[in-house]
Structure 1
Amino acid sequence: MNFQEAMAKIKIAGRKFILVEDVIINGILIRLAELLENSKANILSENEKDLVKIAKNDPIYDRVLLDEKRIEFMARSVREIAAYGSPVGIELEHKVLKNGLDLRKVSVPLGVVGVIFESRPNVVIDIFALCFKSKNACILKGGSDAENSNEILMTLISQAIEGKCGENIFMIDLVFLLRNDRELVAEFLKSDRYVDVIIPRGGRGLIDFVRKNSTVPVIETGAGVVHAYFDEFGDSDKCREIVFNAKVSRPSVCNALDTLIVHRSRLNDLRNICIYLEEKKVEIYADEESFEILNENYSKNLLHKADPENFGTEYLSLKMSVKMVESLDEAIDHINTFGSGHSETIITENRERAKKFLDAVDAACVYVNASTRFT
């Protein structure tokens, strides 16, 4: 079967999918969760084939890595999605016109959703489960770094569908894993006859490439250049805990902290804020004022003077920038200039300043006294 034939089958299957009962969909998702739990050894074996090609100090290693805990989390997520009510067929709006015409706006599937993603094999399960629950067919293109891991997860998806679809044999065609072939990817991006929307999930380079080369409508997800602003009315100990969690809990993800912004009046608190970061060997790229403070007690081999480009960098590793500002307005301007619109947080005990930050910062998720890792 060539690529065009495969796309045609997915399109046809997607149109039929709307008529499948939710009980069948949920049964397949629950079966997938069971297969994930019962196939840990096989998953880890295939994942190891990917990991041996990556240096352990490479940020990609953690993104590709699967362990029992992460597999269990995938299974739990699939069960949670299965337990949700159906997002399809919900009446969003209803009105009757003066002429008696009865109008209803109802939620329906998008159709065929294409997702191009980097490194993380868990995305195979996440995207399939969300698309399947919402009665969308999906085409997945993962990174070559996780090729073996992606394929074993795709095999489990196929087994779950085959085992629970009953008479709905066409459901086997509802998900397709695109192999790593540049020509196929180029053809995929031009497949507006079959694909209704493409979602690039990864860094800025991937997002820009898809946006520039796709004739299929694109839903652009955000690369994460994430900030935490320590306000002049902030709690230093609270900031230390928030910054530590946002930077260290999983540095390779898009909602991990990249830049800490500190009000000038609180620069001396940097010593307290950065204690835990030093223990975890976090490299800091500090502006001149912040560098002078940190240089007194932060490890010399972990502390660097920042260049302008550091403040627009998504590190995805144990690195971060520190920037001093004179005011809340300057902090907001910096975030709106260098941020990617993903996740931003302020540490403050002043409600008015917190509200101004919430209102003025342009991001999908804006927090007060909370880690950006909640996104």
Structure 2
Amino acid sequence: MNAIGDIELDAPALIAALGARARAAARRLAGVSSADKARGLDAMARAIRDAAPAILAANAIDMANGRIAGLTPALLDRLELTPARVAATADGVAAIASLDDPVGAMIDTVRRPNGLALSRVRVPIGVIGIVYESRPNVTADAAALCLGAGNAVILRGGSEAIASNRAIHAALAAGLEQAGLPADAVQLVGTTDRAAVGAMLAGEGLIDMIVPRGGKGLVARVQAEARVPVLAHLDGINHVYVDGSADPAMAAAIAVNAKMRRTGICGAMETLLIDRAFADPAPILRALASAGCALRGDAATQAIDPAVAPASDADWDTEYLDAIASVAIVDGVAGALAHIARHGSHHTDAIVASDEAVADCFLAQVDSAIVLWNASTQFADGGEFGLGAEIGIATGRLHARGPVALEGLTTYKWIGRGTGQVRP
């Protein structure tokens, strides 16, 4: 049980109040021009830069509490804000202002034989709830993307980042007010009580879509309990397959970058698959080990390098989010495809190959939101796709897939223009 001051938390009432204000703000945003939204985003970015000292001081509190609580290095990396990361967060918000506004865009049109003109037009979803963990930059990214697509947003971050999230939200609200936009367009659930999450998930009529960003436990809970539509992914169990035709130097560079650039992000490689026909896998294994990666492999991998620890059955289904990778030797692209089909999470998978036919086979048959040829899985990022900040990587097959940015936060409606038609 949690409390706000001396008053016991009434989570449904709290979310109902936030939802009512968000709905009113969403109605106002529906009439806001693209230029006004861009000015609001620019003002939010400036407010983050101006509030950088306060944001960093709040983050220092969260980091200290996180160390006391025993957060893993991967989680601490996700939580930590530096001056460069705060600046990058502000830049990401500003970048969204320069993107094309999807709202009002015509998807297609048709004129019926009776003269009735029909068109599909992009419109905001309405009120979006974001439930997330660890990364305080999500507070700014999600707010900016939702605003850019004309939506109001209710943010509920993890308890480990509560001070950082409050500081960032205060800056965002100040920026909105400076731009003459409703501050209620971006609201933060100020309590860490888990009941607030439950109230959001039950918020049918208050919230139009929930987006969870966090660990498997969080996402599974949201998907199991939500009474509103969910846009989500579970694990990022990403693979890099090194084909027998791969350039050895390229294969080593991509494997190391895919795993070790940032081990705690959802685009990090978790499993390396090497074609049995690849001439010399040992340098790739050594390059990973030299970069500080602990390797767990099958019997064939251990025969190549006895320093590799044995992999358990669970390793192939584990999102480490740490400097650990599992390695398997497979029989060509067919073996890689079979392994990914059994153990992949439909997030991001890559092939390193010189043989274009093999690469085309991999690209066509891997059922993931992002499939790459001769590139690191760490490119699984909305910014790298030219979409600006992303709200997450969606791995489902409906509504949106891959990096979800402005367009993924809209829906559409049909508009008909007639000249007096009546149906016989």
Number of residue pairs aligned between Structure 1 and Structure 2 = 364
Cα separation, 2, equivalents of 1:53 and 1:360: 45
Which residue does 1:123 correspond to in 2? Answer: 138
Provide Cα deviations, 1:69-95, integer angstroms capped at 9, x if missing partner.
111211111111001121100010111
- Partner residue of 1:107? 122
- Structure 1 residue 277 displacement after superposition: 2.0
SS at match of 1:285: strand
Q: Alignment partner of 2:169: what SS?
A: helix
Q: Secondary structure at the residue paired with 2:183?
A: helix
Instruction: Provide the C-alpha distance between the structure 2 equivalents of 1:324 and 1:2, rounded to a whole number of angstroms.
Output: 53
What 5-or-longer segments of structure 2 have no aligned partner?
A: 1-12, 381-424
CA distance in 2: counterparts of 1:163 and 1:283, whole angstroms: 50
Say whether 1:288 aligns with 2:283.
no
1:356 aligns with 2:356: no
Deviations 1:236-272, CA, capped at 9 Å, x for gaps:
1101100111111110000001000011122x62321
- The letter for the 2-side match of 1:95 is V
Shift of 1:354: 0.3
- Greater helix proportion: 1
* 2:273 corresponds to: 261
Q: 2:186 aligns with which of 171, 175, 186?
A: 175
Whether the aligned pair in 2 keeps the contact of 1:140 and 1:177 (CA below 8 Å) is: yes
Contact 1:222 1:341 in 2 (8 A): no
Q: Secondary structure of the equivalent of 1:100?
A: coil
Partner of 1:374: 379
The code of the aligned residue for 2:139 comes to V
Structure 1 length normalisation: TM-score? 0.94
Task: Report the equivalent of 2:103.
Answer: 88
Letter in 1 for 2:111: V
Instruction: Provide the residue aligned with 1:64 in structure 2.
Output: 79
2 CA distance for matches of 1:161 and 1:9? 15
In the alignment, is the contact (CA less than 8 A) between 1:261 and 1:324 conserved in 2?
yes
Code of the aligned partner of 1:323: A
The correspondence of residues 312-327 of structure 1 with structure 2, limited to 5 A, is 312-327=317-332
Q: CA–CA distance in 2 between the matches of 1:141 and 1:270?
A: 45
Q: Please, which runs of 5 or more residues in structure 1 have no aligned partner?
A: none
Matching of residue 188 in structure 1 with residue 203 in structure 2: no
**Distance (Å, rounded) in 2 between the aligned partners of 1:217 and 1:189:** 9
CA contact (8 A) 1:202 1:223 kept: no
CA RMSD in angstroms, aligned pairs only:
1.4
Matched, 1:277 2:288: yes
Q: Distance in 2 between matches of 1:104 and 1:221?
A: 32
Distance 2:17 2:45 in 1: 30
Higher RCO, Cα 8 Å, sep 6+: 2
- Give the match's secondary structure for 2:131: strand
Contact 1:143 1:180 in 2 (8 A): yes
Runs (4+) of structure 1 moved beyond 3 Å? none
Q: What secondary structure, in the 3-state scheme, does the structure 1 residue paired with 2:277 have? A: helix
Supply the distance in 1 between the matched residues of 2:347 and 2:172 (Cα, whole angstroms). 30
1:338 matches 2:343 = yes
Q: Does 1:164 align with 2:179?
A: yes
Letter of the structure 2 residue corresponding to residue 86 of structure 1: D
SS of structure 1 residue aligned to 2:123: coil
Tell me the residue number matched to 1:12: 24
Q: What TM-score does the superposition give when structure 2 sets the normalisation length?
A: 0.83
